[in-house]
Amino acid sequence: MRAKVAEHSTLFYENGAVVWDDYLHHRQFAISETAELLCRKFTTFTEVDDLLAPLGEEDRAVLRRVLDELVAAGVLIVEGSPEHEAELAMLDGWSSWGASARHFHFASRTLAGAEYLAADEHDAVLEAKLDEEPPPAPFRTLGGDAVALPVLPARPSWGETGVLDVLLARRTTREFGTDGLALEQVGELLAVLAGPSPMRSRIGRSGTVFKTSPSGGGRHPVELYAHVRDVEGLPAGWYHYDGLRHALEPLGPEWPAERIAEAAGDQEWVGEAPLVLAYTAVLERTRWRYDTSRAYRVVQMDVGHLSQTAYLVATAMGLGVGYTAALRDELVERAIGCDAYHEVVLGMTVVGPLRK
């Protein structure tokens, strides 16, 4: 029998124990020191009898029992077995994306027996939770001085364009005109993107808020930061957008175009734009309501919804717009003072005038 360690799992240490995490089948269990040491002998397919041959009869019997237990538990898979064929299919499907990508996907994938609460049951759980653990604030305010932005008109002229016309006109722009942006344009764009909906602006007791883009559970974990290079009436530099006050809070000085491009994976077109919006996610907002790893998928979806809204509004305004997730997260984190353990960088929307 030839066997090797299954590749749909990871090992980690917890409370002094070595834990086997089989993310494909959602199983976790502690393994002994002997089992851990044996696994190191099976990083590739290895003949069990050849490995045990040099040992005495009693030691062979003991280790053979351990190996059989590891095979039965799925820690080791036997060459040519159905488990081996399934693993080959998985590795082929995920190929060069590597172990971390497939771990994220399968660990947050729901199995057939997954239990979900009914809406009223979930509401009851949250109601009880409110008394012991208040929800995080749905809007962030850094405090201090801020630049108040022009308010969104009830009927902005760009809002008269038909939805289908905007959808068909939407394009990713990577070349912008030489003019800057008007402060009114920035204010209206940010109000639509990240401010509370003017139709339903009340914040619920559980921290639920309504905006123009959907968000899982109404949690809206996404925060907006702006790098301003050329906006009329607004000093250049980094800002945080306070959606509740509809204001930009200064964070730091303007970056050279080369530095913005470096943070955006060396994409020069990002550095040339008059306005770059950086998206992060405050994980606790979503985690408060959905305490399960699958909710991290929802956070990724949220920024997709939001960036599409940015595309459509900017297009309706007659502006050029693009989005990128090819970032050097750490550089963006340094610029905005972001704690990567609690607030994660997601992407950037780039806005500027269309090239004439």
CB 94 within 8 A of CB 101: yes
What is the three-class DSSP state of 259?
helix
pTM across the whole model: 0.91
Residue pLDDT, tens place only, 91-150 = 999 989 989 999 999 999 999 998 888 989 988 989 899 988 999 999 999 988 999 999
Tens of pLDDT, residue by residue over 216-237, are 999 999 999 999 999 999 999 9
In 270-316, DSSP assigns E strands to 275-282
How far is the C-alpha of 113 from the C-alpha of 31, rounded, in Å? 26
Tens digits of residue pLDDT in 154-210: 899 999 999 999 999 999 999 999 999 999 999 999 999 999 988 777 787 888 889
**Predicted pLDDT at 253:** 96
DSSP for 22-67, please give it.
Answer: ETTTTEEEEE-HHHHHHHGGGSS-EEHHHHHTTS-HHHHHHHHHHH
CATH for 137-353 is 3.40.109.10
For the chain, give every domain's residue range: 2-107, 137-353
For 2-107, CATH gives 3.90.930
**Residue 134 corresponds to which tokens in the numbers above?**
């208040």
Contact 346, 300 (CB under 8 A): yes
| Interval 16-55: pLDDT, tens | 999 999 999 999 999 998 899 989 999 999 999 999 999 9
CA 307 to CA 325: how far, in whole Å?
11
